[in-house]
Amino acid sequence: MRGLSRIDPGWGITVVRVMMAIVFIVSGSSKWAAGLAATAAGFAKIGIPAPGFAAFFIATLELGGGILLLLGLFTRVLGLLFALEMTVTAFYVKFPAQWWNPARIDLMLLAAGILLILAGPGRLALDNVWQEHER
């Protein structure tokens, strides 16, 4: 275990950021592939206000934001946006309708978003290149 204590914790944050990015890239891609009309219809069915706008915004956030997150760009802002999205999906959509099991992944993504807000992008992120350049 002594060797593990020498590993920079930023690498653990990087793993969380990259996996979170992959989840959102796949989710956003599936919304675009299904078509925004179908996504909007699904949002309307569960009572999301302005479902047409919400479908476009969420599909774009998930795909585009997921790609940026993968690169480690705008990590804290995206962490906030994804944490807000997961707060809505977990507490407004899934808990009231189906309770705990369907909300588990949303809660983990919420926790991951909060981690990125508080800790930043971890290692191997373009945000770090910008921070170094500013110093």
pLDDT of residue 83: 98
pLDDT of residue 122: 95
pLDDT, one tens digit for every residue, the chain (135 residues) = 566 678 888 999 999 999 999 999 999 999 999 999 999 999 999 889 999 999 999 999 999 999 999 999 999 999 999 999 999 999 988 887 777 778 899 999 999 999 999 999 999 999 998 766 555
pLDDT of residue 77: 98
pLDDT of residue 135: 55
pLDDT of residue 27: 97
pLDDT of residue 80: 98
3-state SS class at 30 = helix
pLDDT of residue 51: 96
Polymer length of the chain:
135
DSSP annotation string for 68-124: HHHHT-SHHHHHHHHHHHHHHIIIIIIHHHH-HHHHHHHHHHHHHHHHHHHH-S-SS
Burial (Cβ within 10 Å: 0-12, 13-18, ≥19) of residue 114 = middle
Question: What's the CA gap between 113 and 120, in Å, rounded?
Answer: 10
Cβ-based neighbours of 38, under 8 Å, separated by 6 or more: none
pLDDT of residue 103: 85
- Ordered by start, the domain boundaries in the chain are 4-134
Asked if residues 127 and 21 have their Cβ atoms less than 8 Å apart, the reply is no
Question: What's the CA gap between 91 and 97, in Å, rounded?
Answer: 10
Q: Model-level pTM?
A: 0.89
pLDDT of residue 43: 94
